[in-house]
Structure 1
Amino acid sequence: MQQYFVNGEAGRFVTIEDENTLKHMFSVMRLQANDQVVLVFEDGIKRLAKVADSTSYTFEILEELQDNTELPVDVTIAAGFLKGDKLEFLTQKTSELGARAVWGFPADRSVVKWSGKKLIKKTEKLKKIAQGAAEQSKRNQIPRIRLFEKKQEFLNCLSEFDRIFIAYEESAKTGEKKVLARELALLPKGSKILFVFGPEGGIAPEEVNLLEKQGGLKVGLGPRIMRAETAPLFALSSVSYAFELMT
């Protein structure tokens, strides 16, 4: 059954106004009167609804659903700005895997530079990708997207997390493989976790030092060196294993 995120609060009847959502519902999926879909409002609760009027795009809410597919912990993925469409790929896949937020920042080794209107345009594009991925994977929430123009703005936000993990290539090379598993086992459900990844050239030692001063922990993600857009997927899979598959 198709799922859609909608703005506003749920009443008995709701009228959809977003043009992109309407296009997918009635032009692509060709919904007709009495067809059923799942609507997710801003409260994160899924509700079964049916098309009450296909000309005014009105739906009748039938019942609340108990389905909740969110990770038991709040995970933010922060990556240095990546070349090409890698950040789009990263946003889509981490949204499917359960990230609560996806951040980008201008790392020392980032080749691309975004600012002003380009940054706003990129952010809006990533928000659409995150919503589509969240609908496809039947999430209860759309990941929050934030791209920082200045690295210091990113660093100023680190105090809001319960644990910060720095995916550091040098740690993997030296065989470090205990910190992530150990720390995840100690964290309670509901914790706020930040994973920090460098761009294609990796995270710089100076950046590692700054993150460690904020309480960040260097972690190795296994013996293989992964690409910048692959490592976050490994990290989220590890979190899912620790909090969803081991319980």
Structure 2
Amino acid sequence: MQRYFTQDQLNINETFEVAGEDTHHIINVMRFRVDDTFEMVDGMKNVYLCKIINIEEQTVTYLPVEKYENSSEMPVRVTIICPMLKGEKFEWMLQKSTEFGASEFIIYEADRSIVKLDDKKKDKRLIRYRRVIKEASEQSKRTVIPDIHFGGKLKQFDLSGFDHTVIAYEGNAHDQSLSLNRLEKFKDGESLAFIFGPEGGLTEGEAGFDTALKTVRLGPRILRAESAPLYFLSSMSYIYE
């Protein structure tokens, strides 16, 4: 069933209107009609089964009829701290990482980054990236749309707000003592930052820019940059879900 998001706080049997691009999607893409149903996640992260009660040219009015009690979010909040990647790789990584349960994305400028953007292009990219993340959140039945924004160089990052910080450095791929098993058991509700490098890899300076970082290897093989967060997120899902 199709899922959408709203900032409204929904209530059973109280009418609401669909906002923004979702109106076009309901009318012209899904071609919903009166009495058709969809799921809506409200501003409190509650999920409702909703029924369409009126459709006009630019307006869709709906009625929440049932509240679901399930949650599809990972118990540990994982922020992906990532560099820009070439071509469609970056959007693919955002899409799949959202499906795998990432809570947030922070884009940094790596020393070996191939893609570099000025501020104007960054703003345009964020609009596109947020659309990709929103659509992936709807498709994967998330109750949260992960945020995404640009940071600076890694050495400028303040990671003190995270409960745990982990970095994957390909220079340690053959050190079995640095496998994910070395990480302690995280508690529900804790936050974790996962950092990975660009296509050219992290420099030694980047890999050790913060003494609080815990270095891990993602298996004995060298992964592509766009695959690394998926390996980590799938491992987290296996352990905690």
Distance 1:127 1:141 in 2: 13
Match of 1:203 in 2: 202
Runs of 4+ in structure 1 displaced over 4 angstroms? none
CA distance in 1, matches of 2:172, 2:48: 45
Q: 1:235 aligns with which of 208, 224, 232?
A: 232
Q: TM-score, normalised by structure 1?
A: 0.92
Partner residue of 1:72? 75
Identical aligned residues as a percent: 37
After superposition, residues 171-190 of structure 1 pair within 5 angstroms as: 171-178=172-179, 180-183=180-183, 185-190=184-189
Are the counterparts in 2 of residues 36 and 48 from structure 1 also a CA contact under 8 Å?
yes
**Mapped partners of 2:113, 2:156: distance in 1:** 15
Counterpart of 2:35 in structure 1 is 34
Taking the aligned partners of 1:128 and 1:48, their CA distance within structure 2 comes to 23
Residue 17 of structure 2 corresponds to 15
* Residues 34/154 of structure 1: CA separation in 2 closer, same or farther (3 Å cut): farther
d(CA) in 2 for partners of 1:142 and 1:39?
A: 13
Distance of 1:131 and 1:177 partners within structure 2: 34
Contact 1:105 1:154 in 2 (8 A): no
User: Which residues of structure 2 form unaligned runs of 5+?
Assistant: none
1:219 corresponds, among 205, 216, 219, to: 216
Residue of structure 1 equivalent to 2:193 = 194
Q: Which amino acid aligns with 2:221?
A: R
* CA drift at 1:182: 3.2
What's the TM-score once normalised by structure 2's chain length? Answer: 0.94
Separation in 1, partners of 2:36, 2:224: 43
Unaligned runs of 5+ in 1: none
Amino acid at match of 1:231: A
Aligned residue in 2 for 1:103? 106
Per the TM alignment, residue 87 of structure 1 is displaced from its structure 2 partner at its CA by 1.4
Distance 1:163 1:42 in 2: 27
Q: Is the 8 A contact 2:49 2:65 kept in 1?
A: yes
Please give the root-mean-square deviation of Cα atoms over the aligned residues, in Å.
Answer: 1.4
Q: Is residue 2:121 matched to residue 1:124?
A: no
Q: Following TM superposition, by how much is the alpha carbon of 1:193 offset from its aligned partner in structure 2, in angstroms? A: 0.6
* Corresponding residue for residue 90 of structure 1: 93
DSSP-derived class of the 1:238 partner: helix
Please tell me whether the aligned partners of residues 177 and 222 of structure 1 are also in contact (alpha carbons under 8 angstroms).
no
Equivalent residue pairs, number? 237
Partner amino acid for 1:190? G
User: Aligned runs of 1:153-164 on 2, under 5 Å?
Assistant: 155-156=157-158, 158-164=159-165
Amino acid at match of 2:213: G
Q: 1:233 to 1:77 in 2, by over 3 A?
A: same
Higher percent of residues as helix: 1
Residues 1:10 and 1:37: Cα distance change in structure 2 (over 3 Å): same
Q: Give distance in 2, aligned partners of 1:240 and 1:13.
A: 37
Counterpart CA distance in 2 for 1:75 and 1:96 is: 13
